[in-house]
Amino acid sequence: MPRRAVSLIILAALMSGCTDTPRGGSPPVVTERGGQLFKERCAPCHPNGGNVLTPGKTLHAGVLADHGITTPADIVKKMRNPGPGMVRFDETTIPDADARLIADYVLATFR
């Protein structure tokens, strides 16, 4: 087999490995913008992923999971339909793309 064909096969194998995302979409990533928005919009009530108003409802993964929040979409849903004490962030205040960056930041940062 020519060398080029061999490297193409290896390349194809590597690439298919990279696109093999886990169930439920790609893993959450921390972006500078996500972190900045979190600091501006969420940190006043959720410093370091805590909760100054409802101490039992922090943003730490285990606590979130206990409350049925396991994906970025679940966190965005919370921003759109918050519980008592939390301000509502609609699409005008935080557009979906930014909401997703914040959600990814939360899931990747507070474990």
Which range touches ligand HEC (CB under 6 A), out of 1-9, 10-18, 26-34, 36-44?
Answer: 36-44
**Judged by CB under 6 A, which of 34, 35, 46, 98 binds ligand HEC?**
46
Using CB under 6 A as the binding rule, whether residue 107 contacts ligand HEC is answered as no
Residue 3 tokens, joined:
């060398």
Tokens of 4: 């080029």
Length of the chain: 111
Tell me the backbone φ, ψ of residue 38, rounded to 5 degrees: -60, -45
Number of neighbouring beta carbons within 10 Å of residue 97:
8
User: How many residues sit close enough to ligand HEC to count as binding (CB under 6 A)?
Assistant: 27
Give contact residues for ligand HEC (rule: CB under 6 A).
41-42, 44-46, 51, 53-54, 57-59, 63-64, 67, 69, 75, 78-79, 82-87, 89, 102, 106
